[in-house]
A = this chain, B = another copy of it.
Amino acid sequence: MNDHVLKQEIAKADKAINDRDFETVASCYTEEAVLVVKPGKLVQGREAIKAAHQKISDYFNGSLNVTQGNMVVIEAGDIALVLSKTYIESPEKTDSEFSSERDAIYIYQKSADGTWLCAIDNSYGVTLLESDTQPSA
């Protein structure tokens, strides 16, 4: 599990988020990818996701430190489901309303050149089922 290519891909994306390198963050997603910004709020497309990540980072006063713990990867051809313990630290933002430990759901899609890109990024996992609002783009 430690050296699964998707674990490496997610570590790369986390590092880019933590480094505020939003070009690299955007390059980790498919063109039509969807990011769950928060329950009830989705953004779609690389440019929108790039802007959203910048806003999220700003919300955490630039102190965001995202890391992953235990991970389960299920591959089915060119699609993979990743379940991951996601930890969100933000020393400069201690009053966030969102949980700092999440059971995240990431869906990856294998490109024609063999690289994996994130198609759906839902760090809130199944907790969206508990929200009053259905997500919308």
Q: Which residues of B sit under 8 angstroms from A77, Cβ to Cβ?
A: 30-32, 119
Tell me, rounded to whole Å, the shortest Cβ–Cβ distance linking A121 to chain B. 9
Contact status B72-A129, CB under 8 Å: yes
Total identical chains: 2
Interface size class of A (residues with CB under 8 A): 20 to 34
Q: What residues of B have a CB within 8 angstroms of the CB of A135 in the complex?
A: 72, 74
Q: Which secondary structure characterizes the binding site on chain A?
A: strand
User: Which residues in window 105-137 of A have CB below 8 A to B?
Assistant: 105, 107, 109, 119-120, 122, 125-126, 128-129, 134-135
- A residues whose Cβ falls under 8 Å from a Cβ of B: 1, 30-34, 36, 42, 44, 70-72, 74-77, 79, 81, 83-85, 103, 105, 107, 109, 119-120, 122, 125-126, 128-129, 134-135
Check A129 against B103 for contact (C-beta < 8 Å).
yes
Tell me, rounded to whole Å, the shortest Cβ–Cβ distance linking A50 to chain B.
16
Q: Is the CB of A74 within 8 A of B120?
A: yes
Contact of A34 among B36, B76, B85 (CB under 8 A): B76
